[in-house]
């Protein structure tokens, strides 16, 4: 996959302040505040920064954590996992493989068949109905 690269200024010009804070500066949105937390429609979730498909709605589930949760990405190559030791925790950050946007984190407490919970910020996503 060819990387999409822009300067921080280009990202700032393209994204709204909340998207920029989360996607480029590794922030997070408040739990239960994101527009896709309770969405159950059929479709595909894309990266807000580069439009790369990230998750199919068929893998979305209600984890009760306040962020959209998925048990697997649309393809293994869609994201990159990075060890995150910030905030006194050890977690696994997930970023978009095409543009390096921070998406959220993956945890080993999800449902079958993967046992994973991709906890993703709504502001990082664009939903395209089927």
Domains of the chain: 6-127 (2.170.150.20)
Q: Active-site positions?
A: 119
96 is in an annotated binding site: yes
Q: Which two tokens stand for residue 97?
A: 């493989």
pLDDT value, residue 1: 72
Is 65 labelled a binding residue? Answer: no
| Residues 87-99, mean pLDDT to the nearest whole number | 93
DSSP string, 44-97: EEEETTT--EEEEGGGEE--SSSS-EESS-SSGGGEEEEEE-GGG--EEEEEET
**pLDDT tens-place string over residues 20-59:** 999 999 999 999 999 999 999 999 999 999 999 999 999 9
Q: Are strands 102-107 and 60-61 parallel, antiparallel or unpaired?
A: unpaired
Q: pTM for the complete prediction?
A: 0.95
C-alpha–C-alpha distance, residues 72 and 116, integer Å: 7
Q: What is the pLDDT of residue 53?
A: 98
Is the Cβ–Cβ distance between 75 and 85 less than 8 Å?
Answer: no
């Amino acid at each position: 996959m060819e990387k999409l690269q822009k300067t921080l200024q280009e990202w700032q010009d393209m994204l709204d302040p909340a998207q920029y804070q989360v996607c480029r500066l590794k922030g997070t949105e408040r739990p239960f505040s994101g527009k896709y937390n309770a969405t159950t429609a059929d479709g595909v979730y894309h990266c807000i920064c580069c439009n790369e498909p990230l998750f199919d709605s068929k893998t979305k589930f209600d984890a009760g954590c306040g962020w959209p949760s998925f048990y697997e990405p649309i393809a293994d190559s869609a994201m990159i996992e990075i060890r995150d030791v910030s905030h006194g925790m050890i977690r696994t950050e997930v970023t978009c493989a095409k543009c390096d946007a921070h998406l959220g984190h993956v945890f080993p407490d999800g449902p079958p068949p993967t046992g994973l919970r991709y906890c993703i910020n709504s502001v990082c996503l664009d939903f395209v109905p089927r």
